[in-house]
Each structure stands twice: as structure tokens, then as C-alpha cells.
Structure 1
């Protein structure tokens, strides 16, 4: 049921006493963890807290990098997906598009691209890893293009380093197949 389809309900809600609205709002917010965290960020945090969130995510990722090098490709794919998911959660909470792009570029830059092959199983996790990596990079580049040009400029060096890393690895053919640019201007 969409609220826009029920204009009479919308009017009735706006006519409720303030105390009753507050109770309803608090009950609704409590049911959605992301909304609760978003409201906490929006109402109680500031720019310093935003930078602290980014620093915390970067520190967690840096802690996992040395262990990541010892994993097989299947285990690495699981870890990298969790890292990207943490950045997606960061964006849902803060709505900071620049921070999202910055963190994804950071992750894709620091994770290794070479892993041991998994001997067991019928799936080619090397292919799945390459596909996930390239798609994540494409999405990140598209979000980068939507940023203000001054913000894009701030991220261009790291993004170009990342593209150079990809094109000098085994992922170069997959990058070409996906029409991944070799350089961002």
C-alpha cells in the first residue's frame, strides 16, 4: 500500500496530534535498522563523523588485506563482496556519493587480483571474481561521472591507477570485453 494512493490517509496522518505522530514515527523507525542509522547520522552526526566512518571502513579493509592474499579465489570473492557491501551500507546511511566512490576505488585498488585456484567444486570462481570486480569498477566509474567535476578531479589519480592495475593484470581481457576505459580524463 502506497501512501500516495491514499490521500485521505495522508490527510488523517497530518491531522494527528504531535504526541501520537511521534509514537507512530518511533515505532516505524524501530522496524528499519538502516533508517534508524540514517536518522542517527542525519540528526546527531556531522562532517567529522562522516570522515570517521570512512577512516573506520578503510582501517577494517586494510586489516583484511594481508589475510586476503592467503585465500583461494572463492574465499577472496566472499570477502571482497562483504567489503563492497559495507560501502553500500555506508552510502545508504550517509547518502555521501563522493565517499562511496572514494571507498570503492580504495577497495578495488588495495585488493590483490591474483589468488590460488580452488581445486574443489565445479564453478570457476576466478571467472566470478573477475566478473564481480569489473562490474563493480564499471558501476563505480559511472557514479564517478555523476559527481561534480571538482570532486571527479580529486579522484582521477586513484581511478587511473586502478585502471592501470586492471589493464596490467590477467583481468585486461575481461576489462576490454566490458568496454572499461583505460584512462579517465
Structure 2
């Protein structure tokens, strides 16, 4: 309550010092005050391209293993979360997550005795939980926007139920179709 009694100039100074310490808040304010709809589209397209390049790089590497896919997915999910914290745009966040889930490889044939098997299981759980999170946000959107995203999300659900992720999906109550 004492902060309200401070003079405006001092409050502004304190606010600017606080903002300078939080990189995401600084970037969010920059976005909110200095950028427009075109900048949001550019940010979305840039991150979409980063996802594509990262997945292409993953696929073109030596032997594709679940550990690499899981690490790449976590990194890209972090980038999408940062995008959302800065822009506060749920639609582009969901579109990017659907794009990531649609394109990331999850069909690995590592045997039970392989050291990579535990990463395969972790990837399956992480992948399905990510899809469940997207579905939760999807259900809160307006029905017109849901209509536009439904095909992409159904593609992800089909992918989940056609791979070893199906058991995890059923256990977590993920629907087979929207």
C-alpha cells in the first residue's frame, strides 16, 4: 500500500528498473507498445520456419533416436512458450504446437534392452501430454477458431493412436477424434 503513496516520478523509476530485470516482460512490453499485427505474423512465420528447420535437421542427422527427438521437442516447446509469453496470442501458440506435434517423428523401434528405450517411453508420455495440453487450450477457443484448427488437431490424434503412444493416450483419456 505504501507504493501508492510514492510520487509518480519515483514509481516510474522503480517500474523501469523492475522491467529491465525481467527479459520476457521487457520483450512483452516492446511487443505490446511498438509492434503491430504484421510483427505478430512475422514472429509466427519465423518460429514456424525454425520448427521446420529443426525437424529437417533432426531427420537428416545420423541415426534418428528418441532421445534426440525428445530433446528437440523440449527445446521447440520452450521457444513456443516464450513466443506466447511475449505475444499473449493463444491462436498462434496452438497453431505452432499443432505444427510441431504433426511433424516431429515419434515412431522409434528401439528394443527393450536398448539404452534408448527409456527415452522412447519418456518421449511417448511427453508427446501425449503436450497434445493433451493443446487440446485443453483448444476447447477454450471460440467455435469458429476451433473449426479452423480441428483438422490439424485430428491429424495429431490420428498420429498418436497409430503409434506406440496410443497406450499412453488412452490412459490419459485423450480422445481419438474431435
Output one character per residue of 1:8-37: Cα deviation in whole Å (capped at 9) or x when no partner.
x13223xx133x333222111110000000
Residue equivalent to 2:171: 177
Residue equivalent to 2:106: 113
Change in Cα spacing, 1:21 to 1:132, as seen in structure 2 (3 Å) is same
Residue equivalent to 1:46: 36
Residue 155 of structure 1: CA displacement?
0.3
C-alpha distance in structure 1 between counterparts of 2:144 and 2:93, whole Å: 16
Residue equivalent to 1:12: 5
C-alpha distance in structure 2 between counterparts of 1:43 and 1:17, whole Å: 20
Deviant stretches of 4+, over 3 Å: 115-121
Q: Is the 8 A contact 1:101 1:144 kept in 2?
A: yes
Residue 43 of structure 1: CA displacement?
0.3
Residue equivalent to 1:135: 129
Q: What is the TM-score with the length of structure 2 in the denominator?
A: 0.90
Instruction: Kindly indicate whether residue 117 of structure 2 is the aligned counterpart of residue 126 of structure 1.
Output: no
Q: What is the TM-score with the length of structure 1 in the denominator?
A: 0.87
Larger radius of gyration: 1
Gaps of 5+ in 2: none
Indicate the RMSD between aligned Cα atoms, in angstroms: 1.7
Gaps of 5+ in 1: 1-6
Residue equivalent to 2:13: 23
Residue 45 of structure 1: CA displacement?
0.6
Output one character per residue of 1:105-162: Cα deviation in whole Å (capped at 9) or x when no partner.
11000111123649447x7111100000000000100000011111111100111111
Q: How many residues align?
A: 173
Q: Following superposition of structure 1 onto structure 2, how do residues 50-65 of structure 1 map, counting pairs within 5 Å?
A: 50-65=40-55
C-alpha distance in structure 1 between counterparts of 2:70 and 2:133, whole Å: 17
Residue equivalent to 1:153: 147
